Amino acid sequence: MKSVFIPYNQAYKDRLIDILEKLAIRGFTRWEQVEGRGSVKGEPHYGNHAWPTLNSALLTVIPDDRVDDLLAQIHALDIQTEAQGIHAFVWNVEKSV
């Protein structure tokens, strides 16, 4: 099993949920308002008067063989509108109950 953490500009919410539906990824946890800034080119998303946008984040745990499809879909979305900001980070899930 893999855990996939996806921080994204709030503008991506519906498109990201559509991707999960298309790939039959049912389970996830989503945080509505998170602050952050991209490490390379990203502008701050702090939800204040100077930087009014906010990010959201989503975490899903999926079988190893489904990760590449999810990453490909996220990458394709990022290429379409790079300025918005969406990324995915994957790590191993050692145990679950």
Helices (H), 1-97: 13-22, 67-80
Of 44-48, 55-59, 74-78, minimum mean pLDDT range? 44-48
Q: For residue 27, what are the contacts with CB-CB under 8 A and spacing of at least 6?
A: 60, 61
**Number of Cβ atoms within 10 Å of the Cβ of 12:** 22
Q: What is the pLDDT of residue 41?
A: 74
Q: What is the pLDDT of residue 25?
A: 97
Domain 2-92 bears CATH identifier 3.40.50.2000: no
Residue 83: band (very low, low, confident or very high) from pLDDT cuts 50, 70, 90 = confident
Q: What is the pLDDT of residue 85?
A: 81
Q: What's the rounded Cα separation, in Å, for the pair 49 and 37?
A: 16
pTM of the model: 0.90
Helix (H) or strand (E) holding 83: none
Domain ranges of the chain: 2-92
